[in-house]
Structure 1
């Protein structure tokens, strides 16, 4: 069903969201720091509350169907964004990004995610408008993605270099040490990139892969580009603070990936059923629409998504408790609050293939 909201509401929503994102970016730029648990909790609560208020506004301006589609889309994208965040944690640890500057790095990762998802939203909307049978492809893709989600280890995504990162390492001259939040530095009179460029490229390729999963998933819930885009924006808001709030707890939620896989598989099946209603298949049912395929409602989808995430989270926390680890211990992990936040902390030596090392005492190769 095509949804149409008042133009003033859509335009006003875009303006407000842009202002909020700009304000968040300004805070990171002006005051780079490690957010406290209290600060992170307040910001995450603020963004979640903002999403719920937006759903209420959609209920008042539109109807229950608009609000339900937004909530289902937002929760789906939020779960996928948390999955994305887990890979971010691995990348940060692998490249030894100083915690003081992780806020800025995360913000870049979130902005890249918004850009990639925006591009795929436009492409997805265009494909759906031109080829209704594309839902078969979306559905099959999500079922394949769900299988990979359940039976592959996400740590490989952060620990192994993509061909693009390997190409960048071979062709970019990269130093071995961070220089604050600078991308360029001078070593022995030669201009070089800092390891931050490799981190940004790793985050960008990760964002691209997750955008390929997330956009077909939400188009299985709504065909409104406005709802798709706003759900993605709200899902990405607060991820920076959630990163510091959850810390090492993310890799302890062992059943979370199965909950996300179930959601993706459910939406994949829903897309196939929807395609059966929309398209005539020449070799099935005499070339007519498939009437027996169930039409899964928005509220049924919302209930399934919420149930999958709640069950996966509770099961993970129960297993964590049985292992003798408290949630607080899992969040802090092996972090040492006294760890120095030295800008010159060496990066992963693997990021500096072919680069000249700065001759300082902190360089492990001197």
Structure 2
């Protein structure tokens, strides 16, 4: 897939413009969005992603469009998992509802910047060392095992890292969020940081950890940096509106971790198989390609990911429905 410099430039300008509009809306009126507002924005962003995929289909062909849709769906699902941690962080630091949009938006911008850096690094590694897919595959399988070990998401799942603990001890932090700014000046003229800064550190470091999972996952679906980047951007745009739209539904997705673990494990195995096709490691088949390794087509990957996530969602809703009926009896 040949993507010219001007296409990259137009794409980046368009995406930055959308983010700028979002920032202006949030900056003008911090508030808790209604279900209608959240649903409208989620629908708009999903529509943008679907239209973008059609554009890829028209200009580059159906296979690349399928890669984009599969990558976008995978990243979107992983982003929903991000929301669980965001909910915990919001609760842990008692962020007022009217400021949660601002926290989410800044967190998403940080995630975009981090993923952009990881995508560039990942693309450079892949172009130079095909064996890096072995590492990506092993990392995804390891991540899948860790997801299976996790229980239901609760506040104990979030552990304050060393940077958060240092900031809370070393920085002068006020007890109130005030107007939602990072700093505030007291009546005596002393400048203090607000808890908003600590929340931003928590969100930023969490974004970094999630980027480590998501980038190898999408490189297991497509090797095209343009599709990797755009799939990540479309998956993150609208995440804050989805946060308010889903609301309590997040707590009902009790099997999402299992579904995501299965998806990551599948992509990890897929990466191993693809690495075998381009093998250059001397201790594996004498440094030659392994012909017996099956090749998984993109349409089958899309069906497996859709089916796995669909089953996990349906099973989660059925379980929570049964549990609720038992409580009423």
Same topology, TM > 0.5: yes
| Residue 164 (structure 2) aligns with | 165
Q: Structure 1 residue 188: deviation in Å?
A: 6.2
| Residue 316 (structure 2) aligns with | 316
Is the CA contact 1:34–1:100 (under 8 Å) kept in the aligned structure 2? yes
Q: Does 1:251 align with 2:251?
A: yes
Q: Structure 1 residue 8: deviation in Å?
A: 4.3
Is the CA contact 2:130–2:275 (under 8 Å) kept in the aligned structure 1? yes
| Residue 282 (structure 1) aligns with | 282
Higher helix proportion (structure 1 or 2): 2
Q: Structure 1 residue 236: deviation in Å?
A: 0.4
Q: Structure 1 residue 281: deviation in Å?
A: 3.7
Q: Alpha-carbon deviations, 1:248-300, whole Å to 9, x = none?
A: 22122000111111111011001111111111343343442111111111111
Q: Structure 1 residue 157: deviation in Å?
A: 7.1
Give the Cα separation in 1 of the matches to 2:37 and 2:309.
25
Q: Structure 1 residue 156: deviation in Å?
A: 5.6
Determine which structure has more spread, i.e. the larger CA radius of gyration: 1
TM-score by length of 2: 0.94
Q: Does 1:184 align with 2:183?
A: yes
Which residue, out of 32, 48, 60, partners 2:46? 48
Is the CA contact 2:131–2:281 (under 8 Å) kept in the aligned structure 1? no
Q: Structure 1 residue 7: deviation in Å?
A: 4.7
| Residue 80 (structure 2) aligns with | 82
Give the Cα separation in 1 of the matches to 2:184 and 2:6.
47
Is the CA contact 1:281–1:289 (under 8 Å) kept in the aligned structure 2? no
Q: Structure 1 residue 115: deviation in Å?
A: 0.7
Q: Structure 1 residue 171: deviation in Å?
A: 1.3
Q: Alpha-carbon deviations, 1:86-112, whole Å to 9, x = none?
A: 100110011111101111111011001
Consecutive unaligned residues of structure 1, counting only runs of 5 or more, are 326-366
Q: Alpha-carbon deviations, 1:204-246, whole Å to 9, x = none?
A: 0100000000001001111111101100000001111111111
Give the Cα separation in 1 of the matches to 2:144 and 2:285.
29
Of 159-168 and 102-111, more deviation after overlay is shown by 159-168
- CA RMSD after TM alignment: 1.5
Give the Cα separation in 2 of the matches to 1:92 and 1:284.
48
Q: How does 1:1-366 map to 2 (within 5 A)?
A: 3-153=1-151, 154-155=153-154, 159-187=158-186, 189=188, 190-324=190-324
Q: Structure 1 residue 48: deviation in Å?
A: 0.7
Q: Alpha-carbon deviations, 1:111-151, whole Å to 9, x = none?
A: 01101101100111111111111010000000000111121
Give the Cα separation in 2 of the matches to 1:94 and 1:286.
53
Q: Structure 1 residue 5: deviation in Å?
A: 3.6
Question: Aligned pair count?
Answer: 323
Please give the secondary structure, in 2, of the residue aligned with 1:323. Answer: helix
Q: Structure 1 residue 163: deviation in Å?
A: 1.3
